[in-house]
Amino acid sequence: MFGRMDEPTQQQIEELTSAFERFARRFKVAEAAAAADNALNALDAQTLLFVQANAGCGLGDVARYLNVATTTMSSAVDRLVRKAMIERRRPEGNRRAVALTITEKGRYVAEEQKAGYRNACLAMLRLLEPSERAEMIRLTEKIADSES
């Protein structure tokens, strides 16, 4: 790994913390704008996106992906079911299991959510020089794909 000399400085940590707070705020605003009509909190929005991408998944699958307790996930799913955005279905082979699927309303809301993210990314990328954009994407993916 890195030696002590390669550790980030306190100033670098503070600068990145501040930048990420501003960065996250852009996404929260975009997420809130997309979800405002449907009153989704961040957990519900992420749950909806996961179910859209993983039709037939189980409650535990979503909980593991979002790194939350199954009881927390159960509450989120209950809210989304009440709002008619996802449905619980019992698979024929296992009547005790529950498969989650997105509804047409949920699909619409999820697409609005993703459009909000894309608009936030577009706004950020427009602030960069064309030559800087690929580097921003590369570094962001490197961080996002790390295990720590």
pLDDT digits (tens, 9 = 90+) for 83-126: 999 999 887 777 677 899 999 999 999 998 888 888 888 888 99
Q: Which residues have a Cβ under 8 Å from the Cβ of 91 and sit 6 or more positions away?
A: 56, 97, 99
Integer Cα distance of 127 and 125 in angstroms? 5
Retrieve residue 89's tokens: 């279905």
Residue 31 is predicted with a pLDDT of: 63
Cβ contact 77:70 at 8 Å: no
What is the set of domains in the chain, with CATH numbers? 22-144 (1.10.10.10)
Residue 45, beta-bridge partner list: none
Cβ contact 75:66 at 8 Å: no
Provide, rounded to the nearest whole percent, the portion of the chain with pLDDT above 70: 87
The residue among 111, 113, 87 whose CA lies nearest residue 100 is 87
The residue among 64, 118, 104, 35 whose CA lies nearest residue 72 is 64
Report the interhelical angle of 104-126 vs 130-144 (nearest 10°): 130
pLDDT, tens only, 12-34: 888 888 888 887 777 777 666 66
For residue 2, is pLDDT > 50?
no
